[in-house]
Amino acid sequence: MNSNIEIKHIEKSKIDTVDFNNLPFGSVYSDHMLTCTFKDGKWQDAVVEPFAPISLDPSAKIFHYGQSIFEGMKAYKDADGNTLLFRPLDNCKRLNKSAERLVIPQIPEETFMNGLKALLKVDDAWIPTKEGSSLYIRPFMFASGNGFHASPADEYKFMICTAPSGAYFAGKVKVLIEEKYARAANGGVGFAKAGGNYAAQFYPTQLAIEKGYNQVIWTDDNTHEYIEEAGAMNIFIRINDTLITSPTNDRILDGITRKSIIQIAKDLGINVEVRKISVTEVIAAAKSGELKEMFGAGTAAVISPIAGFGFQENDYDLPELEKPYAALLKKTITDIQTNKAEDPYGWRVQL
């Protein structure tokens, strides 16, 4: 594949119609997108082109067999106007891990990074500078080849679209521990960022919303005894001064924010345990006052504090702490991401 990327500029930018001081999350789109097609057994040249609808045949296999995966990333501006990314190669590696599981051709790292850089260069003005805002980046791949036969497609699309965005969640959330539905099963695709994983979450999440909760805490598919994830995020639970998170497996996404939190927390002297944690243990800690914090962790929200949770018709409120780990860890990560602090890990990439 040629590393040259064709640039097709939009005739007239729509950036002047956007209020950068009041950005929603993920629903205002930048001027351009990156497209790369896999056909005839290889990836073709990538193109940066105006953001626009795409045309697919009704028989495209994405519609019938769900070969679709994605990633979530962000670009930031520092005080000097430099464009910054956070652990982008980890996103590329995880996208390819998802691709392997869904029999989608893996995207070369060179194509991923060169395409991303070219797109961000063209849409540089779309990267917000307001505190708490960022350019959300959505790389995704899907089966564009045609046919009703239940088999992998022969053509695929790799695309990157971007959206200047404000905060994902406003304030703390209230969650319901799930006792019936499962997000993923052993041997399944829970570890992959497959679109179908998220589609399957919507119904039980909607049921929780109808009961007055914002999200679901997922438990294991077999016994529903162990805490696994919080909505579309990894989950951390603080009991006394120990921070606990579930180990990754077939069912749990290997979150990049999760990995970053574990490393930073250890370096801050926080005791971190990566182990299975039961619902019973969490309830007991809540009743004894030892449960101090729960929070979700992911690219979109970075860290989303949980104010309380429900289980078996009972509600449990978490205490208001003067110096929560969630706030400390979020500030530490976002300061690294936005070049307000040193990056001892080499996670920050300047374009």
Q: What's the pLDDT score for residue 170? A: 66
Read off the DSSP letter of residue 304.
E
Q: Kindly state whether residues 129 and 159 are assigned to the same domain.
A: yes
Domain finish residue from 127, 149, 165: 165
280: left (phi over 0), alpha (psi -120 to 50) or beta: alpha
Measure CA 137 to chain center: 10
Task: Look up the domain containing 128 and give its range.
Answer: 6-165
Domain finish residue from 165, 184, 207: 165
pLDDT tens, N- to C-terminus, the chain (351 residues) = 445 899 999 999 999 999 999 999 999 999 999 999 999 999 999 999 999 999 999 999 999 999 999 999 999 999 999 999 999 999 999 999 999 999 999 999 999 999 999 999 999 999 999 988 999 999 999 999 999 999 999 999 999 999 999 887 767 799 999 999 999 999 999 999 999 999 999 999 999 999 999 999 999 999 999 999 998 899 999 999 999 999 999 999 999 999 999 999 999 999 999 999 999 999 999 999 999 999 999 998 899 999 999 999 999 999 999 999 999 999 999 999 999 999 999 999 999
What is the rounded CA–CA span in Å between residue 239 and residue 282?
A: 8
Q: Kindly state whether residues 80 and 181 are assigned to the same domain.
A: no
Indicate which CATH number applies to the domain containing 282.
Answer: 3.20.10.10
Q: Kindly state whether residues 215 and 144 are assigned to the same domain.
A: no
Domain finish residue from 165, 184, 219: 165
Q: Are strands 68-70 and 314-317 parallel, antiparallel or unpaired?
A: unpaired
Q: Kindly state whether residues 223 and 186 are assigned to the same domain.
A: yes
Secondary structure class of 349 (helix, strand, coil): strand
Rg (CA), the chain: 21
Q: How far is CA 222 from CA 49, 168, 283, in A?
A: 46, 31, 20
Q: What's the pLDDT score for residue 171? A: 72
Q: Are strands 156-165 and 32-39 parallel, antiparallel or unpaired?
A: antiparallel
Residue whose token pair is 């505190």: 131
What is the rounded CA–CA span in Å between residue 263 and residue 222?
A: 30
- Specify the DSSP element, H or E, that contains 105: none
Residue whose token pair is 């970053």: 260
Alpha carbons within 13 angstroms on the beta-carbon side of residue 284 total: 5
List the helix and strand counts (H, then E) for the chain.
Answer: 7, 19
Q: How many residues does the chain have?
A: 351
Q: Kindly state whether residues 233 and 184 are assigned to the same domain.
A: yes
Contact 92, 112 (CB under 8 A): yes
Cα angle 305, 164, 142 (rounded to 5 degrees) comes to 90
Q: Kindly state whether residues 199 and 310 are assigned to the same domain.
A: yes
Q: What's the pLDDT score for residue 2? A: 43
